[in-house]
């Protein structure tokens, strides 16, 4: 995708943070030419752009992604320039909105800046016009940030929740399992683009086609996809998409995006409104929403963080999003090769080109998952994530742009030692 960089930079010159800040950030990261047959120096240089404690290997971007030095610097500079003039900087959001839209394959009027993926999911669950007995379908592996907003609607409005088990071996299995649950009361389907516990890549385009044919709202919780793989909202064909900035994008904490198809925005009523959501010509009066997803925003925001998110996306765009996704996938393959033949290690994540992602979860009957997680981080400095969801009792490994083949070699060795001596 060709991002219009000029658009992003244009408004940053509004007397506040200028293009100089952006140049400084980019220059701070001296990456060598990428050599596909010997990519190690490239990824090692990427790794050097982060201030992660030395000796500590961070393998949990699916939980919280680190900000690079460049993103931190950029965000701090914007914040300091805004503070120096005591400005909210709200007008700077429009160029960021355009850029973020292009990055995610949406138009500027479809992008809302939210605080996290949970908030975006909540706006959809709480904003759709649903009646008692109306049904929603989502996967049994949904993260609380994706499931709780619907459980709240079950409690408040009598919405009926139906769950499908994500299929880790068959692409079409994920479609038929949803199809089998659809009734005349079904109103909405939600899936995680990539499931949190075991990293299953769900075939969203086919599910979108199914939902379109049945007249159902289709929401994609992409907390695990933006920044891990290239995402194109228009191509996916869903009605709405939620994501976090603070995971795979490497944006500052408390950043997220909600995308809602322009012609479907009247079907999602805002759950909170205030300044920036719309106008009221005179009080008392009717709310006149802004024509665009900005209607889902309200009140004062930390503009520096939102611009920091756009900057993190710009950096990924420069590095190449396909390249980042391939790197994560290569590391996952390396990990799989390293542990698949180890006695008493079971891999739960898909071994299927169309279903696998940059995350891999595994477990061992010889050692509890919490203990395994603790040994890896405390004795080996390898920070993964324990998976307690659905009784899976596993450890999840996230492989991202700042991880290297060396991290994975160390992890493989640590898993072997820990499991064999347990
Ligand atoms: C699929 C999914 N949805 C939602 C969330 C919650 O994200 P956030 O903390 O940005 O609200 C997560 C976090 O791991 C997730 O994996």
Residue intervals in the chain for CATH 3.40.640.10:
90-315
Q: How far is the CA of 188 from the centre of ligand 1 (A)?
A: 19
Report residue 303: phi and psi, to 5°: -65, -30
CB distance 227 to ligand 1 below 6 Å: no
Query: For residues 210 and 169, what is the distance between their CA atoms, to the nearest angstrom?
Result: 20
CB distance 97 to ligand 1 below 6 Å: no
Q: How far is the CA of 193 from the centre of ligand 1 (A)?
A: 11
CB distance 304 to ligand 1 below 6 Å: no
| pLDDT for the residue numbered 27 | 55
Of 195, 223, 231, 246, which is best to mutate to test ligand 1, by the most ligand atoms within 8 angstroms of its C-beta?
223
CB distance 222 to ligand 1 below 6 Å: no
pTM: 0.94
Alpha helices in 134-217 (DSSP H): 144-157, 171-179, 204-214
CB distance 243 to ligand 1 below 6 Å: no
Of all atoms in ligand 1, which is nearest to the CA of residue 246? Answer: 10
Residue intervals in the chain for CATH 3.90.1150.10:
322-420
Largest separation between any pair of C-alpha atoms in the chain: 73
CB distance 118 to ligand 1 below 6 Å: yes
Ligand 1 atom 7, closest CA: 117
188-202 pLDDT, tens digit per residue, is 999 999 999 999 999
Q: Which fold has domain 90-315?
A: 3.40.640
Of all atoms in ligand 1, which is nearest to the CA of residue 193? Answer: 1
CB distance 223 to ligand 1 below 6 Å: yes
289-307 pLDDT, tens digit per residue, is 999 999 999 999 999 999 9
Of all atoms in ligand 1, which is nearest to the CA of residue 194? Answer: 1
Low-confidence ranges of the chain (pLDDT < 50): 1-24
Of 113, 143, 248, which is best to mutate to test ligand 1, by the most ligand atoms within 8 angstroms of its C-beta?
143
Of 149, 244, 388, which is best to mutate to test ligand 1, by the most ligand atoms within 8 angstroms of its C-beta?
244
Residue in this structure with the two tokens 């999911």, named with its chain if needed:
121
CB distance 146 to ligand 1 below 6 Å: yes
CB distance 98 to ligand 1 below 6 Å: no
Dihedral sign, Cα of residue 200, residue 223, residue 309, residue 72: negative
| pLDDT for the residue numbered 280 | 86
- The 3-state DSSP class for residue 348 equals coil
Dihedral sign, Cα of residue 121, residue 315, residue 401, residue 231: positive
Q: How far is the CA of 117 from the centre of ligand 1 (A)?
A: 6
CB distance 190 to ligand 1 below 6 Å: no
CB distance 145 to ligand 1 below 6 Å: yes
Q: How far is the CA of 277 from the centre of ligand 1 (A)?
A: 24
**25 exposed, middle or buried (CB, 10 Å; 0-12, 13-18, 19+)?**
buried
Computed over every residue of the chain, the mean pLDDT equals: 93
Of 247, 396, 400, which is best to mutate to test ligand 1, by the most ligand atoms within 8 angstroms of its C-beta?
247
Of 145, 231, 248, 392, which is best to mutate to test ligand 1, by the most ligand atoms within 8 angstroms of its C-beta?
145
CB distance 166 to ligand 1 below 6 Å: no
Q: How far is the CA of 138 from the centre of ligand 1 (A)?
A: 15
Q: How far is the CA of 175 from the centre of ligand 1 (A)?
A: 23
Q: For 53-199, where are the E strands, in sequence order? A: 57-58, 111-114, 135-139, 160-164, 186-192
21 within 8 A of 77, measured Cβ to Cβ? yes
Of 119, 142, 224, 400, which is best to mutate to test ligand 1, by the most ligand atoms within 8 angstroms of its C-beta?
224
In the sheet that 346-347 helps form, which strands lie side by side, from edge to edge? 346-347, 359-363, 394-398, 385-387
Here the contacts of 5-14 (C-beta below 8 Å, separation 24 or greater) are 5/99, 5/314, 7/95, 7/98, 7/99, 7/102, 8/95, 8/96, 8/98, 8/99, 8/310, 8/314, 9/95, 10/95, 11/91, 11/92, 11/94, 11/95, 12/92, 12/95, 12/307, 14/91, 14/92
Q: 322-420: which CATH architecture?
A: Alpha-Beta Complex (3.90)
């Amino acid at each position: 995708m060709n991002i219009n960089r000029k658009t992003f930079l244009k408004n940053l010159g509004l007397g506040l943070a200028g293009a100089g800040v952006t140049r400084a950030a980019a220059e701070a990261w001296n990456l060598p030419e990428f050599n596909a047959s010997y990519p190690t120096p490239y990824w090692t240089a990427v790794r050097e752009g982060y201030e992660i404690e030395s000796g500590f290997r961070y393998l949990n971007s699916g939980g919280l992604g680190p900000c690079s030095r460049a993103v931190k610097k950029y965000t701090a500079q914007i914040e300091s320039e805004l503070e120096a003039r005591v400005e909210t900087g709200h007008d700077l959001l429009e160029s960021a909105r355009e850029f973020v839209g292009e990055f995610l394959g949406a138009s500027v009027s479809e992008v809302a800046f939210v605080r996290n993926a949970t908030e975006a999911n909540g706006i959809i669950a709480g904003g759709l016009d649903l009646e008692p007995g109306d049904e929603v379908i989502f996967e049994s592996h949904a993260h609380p940030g994706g499931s709780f907003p619907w459980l709240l609607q079950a409690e408040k409005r009598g919405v009926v929740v139906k769950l499908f088990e994500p299929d880790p071996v068959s692409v079409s299995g994920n479609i038929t399992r949803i199809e089998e649950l659809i009734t005349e009361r079904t109103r909405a389907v939600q899936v995680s683009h990539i499931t949190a516990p075991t990293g299953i890549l769900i075939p969203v385009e086919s599910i979108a086609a199914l939902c379109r044919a049945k007249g159902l709202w289709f929401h994609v919780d992409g907390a695990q996809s933006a920044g891990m793989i290239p995402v194109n909202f228009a191509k996916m064909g869903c009605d709405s998409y939620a994501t976090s900035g603070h995971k795979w994008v490497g944006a500052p904490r408390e950043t997220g995006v909600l995308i809602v198809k322009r012609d479907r925005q009247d079907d999602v009523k805002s759950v909170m409104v205030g300044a920036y959501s719309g106008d009221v010509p005179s009080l008392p009066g009717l709310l006149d929403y802004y024509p665009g997803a900005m209607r889902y925003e309200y009140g004062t925001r930390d503009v520096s963080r939102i611009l920091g998110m756009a900057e993190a996306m710009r950096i990924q765009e420069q590095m190449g999003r396909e390249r980042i996704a391939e790197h994560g996938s290569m590391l996952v393959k390396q990990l799989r090769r390293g542990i698949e033949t180890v006695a008493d290690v079971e891999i739960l994540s898909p071994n299927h080109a169309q279903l696998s992602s940059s995350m891999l979860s595994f477990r061992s009957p010889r050692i509890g998952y919490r203990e395994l997680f603790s040994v890896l981080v405390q004795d080996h400095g390898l920070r993964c994530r324990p998976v307690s969801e659905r009784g899976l009792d596993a450890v999840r490994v996230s492989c991202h742009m700042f991880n290297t083949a060396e991290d994975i070699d160390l992890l493989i060795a640590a898993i072997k030692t820990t499991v064999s001596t347990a």
